[in-house]
């Protein structure tokens, strides 16, 4: 455990609920595991994992209120973008309230929902840990678990492909960062 940040864990659990907080613990565990494979700082992986959903409040009203307070509501006010909002706000709150200064950790939080082209190793690790942590059971998770220990870029390509298929199938909004991430990892691996 990274002692410097442990003092915030109770507060996060209080804000997002025990289930969501336990998910953060599993994402941190998976992030540490992947960090060790790819030579990434284990502590950074743990912090990014623990804080990635620090603003995923159950009550959307709180999310929107806080986002407007920090003036990051636009263009995320539109309902299609709501899933992304907690990540954008999360990066701001992680810095302002939880004293996280490391840019790579803040970016890993900021981009954990959308991805983006040219992600750092830590960004990819948290993105993948979020969707492959031990309690995930959806169709396609096993191929991601296999790929993420072989190549982060290849796993990103598969993860983004799966995500786009689901989003289009649901006629859901697709963030531009997700599209450019998909194009990037399609030819990158």
CB of 120 closer than 8 Å to CB of 104: yes
Name the residue nearer to Fe ion (CB basis): 138 or 188: 138
Name the residue nearer to Fe ion (CB basis): 31 or 147: 31
CB 187 to Fe ion: min, Å? 27
Name the residue nearer to Fe ion (CB basis): 13 or 189: 13
CB 16 to Fe ion: min, Å? 10
| Cβ-based neighbour number of residue 114 at 10 Å | 22
CB 101 to Fe ion: min, Å? 21
CB 160 to Fe ion: min, Å? 16
Tell me which of 5, 46, 93, 130 binds Fe ion, using CB under 5 A. 130
Closest CA to 185 of 110, 128, 105, 119: 119
Binding of residue 53 to Fe ion (CB under 5 A): yes
Interface region with Fe ion, contact rule CB under 5 A, candidates 73-81, 93-101, 128-136, 171-179: 128-136
Interface region with Fe ion, contact rule CB under 5 A, candidates 57-65, 69-77, 130-138, 167-175: 130-138
Q: CA–CA separation, 52 vs 38, rounded Å? A: 20
Name the residue nearer to Fe ion (CB basis): 123 or 130: 130
Q: CA–CA separation, 64 vs 86, rounded Å? A: 9
Q: CA–CA separation, 125 vs 167, rounded Å? A: 22
Q: CA–CA separation, 103 vs 92, rounded Å? A: 11
Size of the site for Fe ion (CB under 5 A): 2
Interface region with Fe ion, contact rule CB under 5 A, candidates 28-36, 45-53, 92-100, 176-184: 45-53
CB of 125 closer than 8 Å to CB of 152: yes
First-to-last alpha carbon distance for the chain, in angstroms, is: 33
CB 50 to Fe ion: min, Å? 11
Name the residue nearer to Fe ion (CB basis): 53 or 158: 53
Count Cβ neighbours within 10 Å for each residue of 93-107 and write b for 16 or more, e otherwise: bbbeebebebeebbb
Applying CB under 5 A, the residues found at the interface with Fe ion are 53, 130
């Amino acid at each position: 455990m990274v002692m410097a940040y442990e003092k915030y864990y109770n507060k996060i659990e209080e804000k997002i609920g025990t289930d969501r907080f336990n998910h953060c613990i599993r994402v941190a565990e998976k992030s540490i595991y992947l960090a060790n494979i790819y030579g990434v700082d284990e502590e950074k992986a743990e912090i990014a994992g623990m804080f990635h959903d620090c603003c995923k409040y159950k009550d959307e009203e709180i999310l929107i209120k806080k986002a407007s307070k920090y003036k990051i509501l636009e263009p995320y006010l539109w309902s299609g973008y709501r899933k992304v909002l907690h990540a954008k706000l999360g990066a701001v709150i992680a810095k302002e309230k939880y004293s996280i200064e490391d840019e790579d950790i803040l970016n890993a939080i900021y981009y954990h929902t959308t991805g983006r082209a040219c992600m750092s190793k830590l960004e990819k690790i948290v993105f993948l840990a979020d969707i492959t942590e031990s309690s995930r059971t959806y169709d396609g998770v096993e191929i991601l678990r296999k790929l993420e220990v072989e190549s982060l870029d290849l796993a990103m390509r598969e993860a983004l492909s799966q995500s786009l298929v689901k989003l289009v199938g649901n006629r859901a909004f697709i963030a531009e960062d997700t599209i450019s991430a998909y194009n990037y990892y399609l030819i990158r691996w």
